[in-house]
């Protein structure tokens, strides 16, 4: 494949990676300042809040996003507005249902985590999640049309508002509460939706009627992706959630500090996944499973090659990294970071497995495996945290992920003939080609 300036991969990759980078900068920047403003206990409460609200957003994305992309990207002129309308209806229903669940369980979660202030924060977030209906819908439609420009700018505004306010609080030593942070998210969601609408207008074609047939079709496809995303989120978040139950919220803050370092890995992971899915869905329909096998092996190899240098740096300089990003008060996070870094090397296999299963129309397989692994991770974390304390959360997740990789690789070999060792070949090829390119540039000069 030739990566030229007018190619799908180049244009999509630029905006997608820019979005991930800005999300990383604003997210990490907010954490960097908040960890120096808030107490460990408050920081732990904020981390738990973000974990739960991320579950709400993941639920919406799982039920709406992939099904919309799958059907809208190949829809004819007659089907397009019907799919748009059905997807929006499904988005609204899903969001309202998740908001009701959050309203019902807010008091209970505040109790088990011994964090009374989080109850009001969840109530306020309900406003935010309702405002995210148009924001998410517009971005999903742009992704289905292989246009990532508006997604970048809308997310930049949404996250920039929050980050800008935190910078103001830090510089001027302004007093604020955790609830004020939730209000900032609400403002960001509102402004981001306006920006997203500006870019989605050219794709905005819908019928103003309830399309029950298409809603059913989208739901039947999306329900497994929904379950998969929830199970995946539980799998990756159970360590922090169970730390909040078994240990004080300050322990969650320490663990979250180590986790924040690995957010740098999310840039290539999320960028490649969001580009590969719509492309693989198209190629599956035209070229069959051979194209999917190539995309999987190549994308995983590329991701491993990109993550490995970051992982090595984190292993060698873990103490310095924690000191820089969170301060000496969080040095307990050093051994946790060293274990989590090993987990990141396995993440490409787990992430792209889900992309492949969705692309070949087998989200059910991904769903069942992730539900099983979420249960395994709960048991693993409970055992290791109860036995080893704070560092047990890292051991628990690492052990569960190894089991997941072993099972998922066997499934991929059966379904699309994927070979694990091919990913290492592609990783090596990436380094080799990069070295040759650098050598040519140096000699040409």
DSSP string across 6-37 = TSHHHHHHHHHHHHHHHHHHHHHHHHHHHHHH
Across the range 77-93, mean pLDDT stands at 88
Q: State yes or no: pLDDT of 195 exceeds 80.
A: yes
Across the range 205-217, mean pLDDT stands at 81
Q: Which residue has the tokens 């011994």?
A: 114
Percentage with pLDDT > 90 across the chain: 43
How big, in percent rounded to 5, are the helix, strand and coil portions of the chain? Answer: 90, 0, 10
Question: What pLDDT was estimated at residue 161?
Answer: 95
Predicted model pTM: 0.80
pLDDT band for 253, please (50, 70, 90 cuts). Answer: very high
Across the range 225-236, mean pLDDT stands at 77
Q: State yes or no: pLDDT of 159 exceeds 50.
A: yes
Question: What pLDDT was estimated at residue 3?
Answer: 40
Q: State yes or no: pLDDT of 6 exceeds 50.
A: no
Distance of CA 3 to the CA centre of its chain: 26
Q: What is the mean pLDDT of the chain?
A: 85
Question: What pLDDT was estimated at residue 287?
Answer: 56
Question: What pLDDT was estimated at residue 9?
Answer: 54
| CA 24 – CA 9 distance, rounded (Å) | 21
pLDDT band for 354, please (50, 70, 90 cuts). Answer: confident
Across the range 184-210, mean pLDDT stands at 88
Across the range 288-312, mean pLDDT stands at 81
| CA 158 – CA 414 distance, rounded (Å) | 42
Across the range 127-140, mean pLDDT stands at 93
Across the range 216-231, mean pLDDT stands at 80
Lowest model confidence (mean pLDDT) among 7-21, 202-216, 270-284, 285-299: 270-284
């Amino acid at each position: 494949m030739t990566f030229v300036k007018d190619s799908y991969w180049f244009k999509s990759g630029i905006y997608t990676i820019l979005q991930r980078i800005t999300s990383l900068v604003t997210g990490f920047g907010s954490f960097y300042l908040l960890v120096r403003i808030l107490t460990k206990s408050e920081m732990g409460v904020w981390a738990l809040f973000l974990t739960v609200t991320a579950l709400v957003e993941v639920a919406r994305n799982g039920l709406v996003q992939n099904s919309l992309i799958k059907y809208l990207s190949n829809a004819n002129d007659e089907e397009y507005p019907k799919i748009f309308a059905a997807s929006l209806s499904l988005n609204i229903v899903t969001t309202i249902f998740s908001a009701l669940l959050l309203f019902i369980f807010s008091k209970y979660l505040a109790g088990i985590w011994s964090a009374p202030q989080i109850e009001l924060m969840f109530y306020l977030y309900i406003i935010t999640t309702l405002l995210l209906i148009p924001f998410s819908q517009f971005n999903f439609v742009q992704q289905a049309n292989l246009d990532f420009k508006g997604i970048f700018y809308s997310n930049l505004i949404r996250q920039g508002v929050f980050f800008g306010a935190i910078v103001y609080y830090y510089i001027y030593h302004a007093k604020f509460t955790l609830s004020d942070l939730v209000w900032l998210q609400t403002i960001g969601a509102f402004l981001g939706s306006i920006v997203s609408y500006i870019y989605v207008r050219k794709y905005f074609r819908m019928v103003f009627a309830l399309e029950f047939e298409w809603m059913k079709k989208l739901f039947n496809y999306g329900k497994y992706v929904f379950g998969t995303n929830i199970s995946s989120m539980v799998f990756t978040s159970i360590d922090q959630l169970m730390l909040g139950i078994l240990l004080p919220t300050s322990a969650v803050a320490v663990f979250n500090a180590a986790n924040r370092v690995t957010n740098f890995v999310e840039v290539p992971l999320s960028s490649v996944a969001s580009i590969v899915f719509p492309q693989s869905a198209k190629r599956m329909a035209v070229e069959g499973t051979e194209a999917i096998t190539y995309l999987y092996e190549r994308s995983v190899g590329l991701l491993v090659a990109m993550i490995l240098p970051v992982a090595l740096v984190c292993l060698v300089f873990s103490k310095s990294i924690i000191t820089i990003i969170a301060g000496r008060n969080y040095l307990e996070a050093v051994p946790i970071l060293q274990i989590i870094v090993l987990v990141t090397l396995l993440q490409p296999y787990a992430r792209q497995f889900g992309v492949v299963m969705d692309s070949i129309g087998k989200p059910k397989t991904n769903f069942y495996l992730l539900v099983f692994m979420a249960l395994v991770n709960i048991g693993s974390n409970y055992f290791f945290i109860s036995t080893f304390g704070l560092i047990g959360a890292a051991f628990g997740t690492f052990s569960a992920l190894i089991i997941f990789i072993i099972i998922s690789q066997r499934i991929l070999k059966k379904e699309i003939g994927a070979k694990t060792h091919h990913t290492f070949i592609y990783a090596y090829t990436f380094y080799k080609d990069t070295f040759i390119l650098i050598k040519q540039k140096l000699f040409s000069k």
